[in-house]
């Protein structure tokens, strides 16, 4: 079980209802994390995953910070998720 800091920006807050939260997760990759979040916040998948390519949508962005390091823009949804990571959904 991992502990993640999740930060939601702008219109993403219309799904999450909060601007940020600490969450427990079993996700191994970002893709799995999005699926987990979609169960809690219906529409999360639709907002971030392109229905056709199954990649990150053109009009969405995710920034991933490994523990203790600054955020980097995500390209590949199958990248691993580490414990104590900070993930910003844009």
Q: Tell me which residues touch other proteins (CB under 8 A).
A: 7, 9-11, 13-15, 17, 19-20, 41-44, 46-47, 58-61, 63, 65, 70-71, 75, 86, 88, 90
Q: Which is nearer to other proteins, 9 or 28 (CB)?
A: 9
> Number of C-alpha atoms within 13 angstroms, CB side, residue 19?
1
Sheet holding 62-65, edge to edge: 20-25, 2-8, 86-89, 62-65, 72-73
Q: How far is the CB of 43 from other proteins (least distance, A)?
A: 3
The CA distance from 37 to 26, in Å, is 11
Q: How far is the CB of 72 from other proteins (least distance, A)?
A: 9
Q: How far is the CB of 60 from other proteins (least distance, A)?
A: 5
């Amino acid at each position: 079980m991992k502990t993640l800091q999740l930060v939601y920006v702008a219109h993403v807050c219309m799904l999450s209802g909060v601007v940020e939260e600490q969450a427990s997760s079993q996700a191994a990759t970002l893709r799995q994390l999005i699926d987990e979040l979609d169960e809690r916040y219906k529409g999360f998948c639709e907002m971030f995953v392109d229905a056709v390519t199954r990649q990150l949508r053109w009009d969405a962005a995710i920034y991933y910070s490994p523990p203790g390091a600054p955020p980097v823009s995500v390209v590949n949804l199958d990248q691993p998720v580490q414990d104590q990571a900070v993930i910003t959904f844009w």
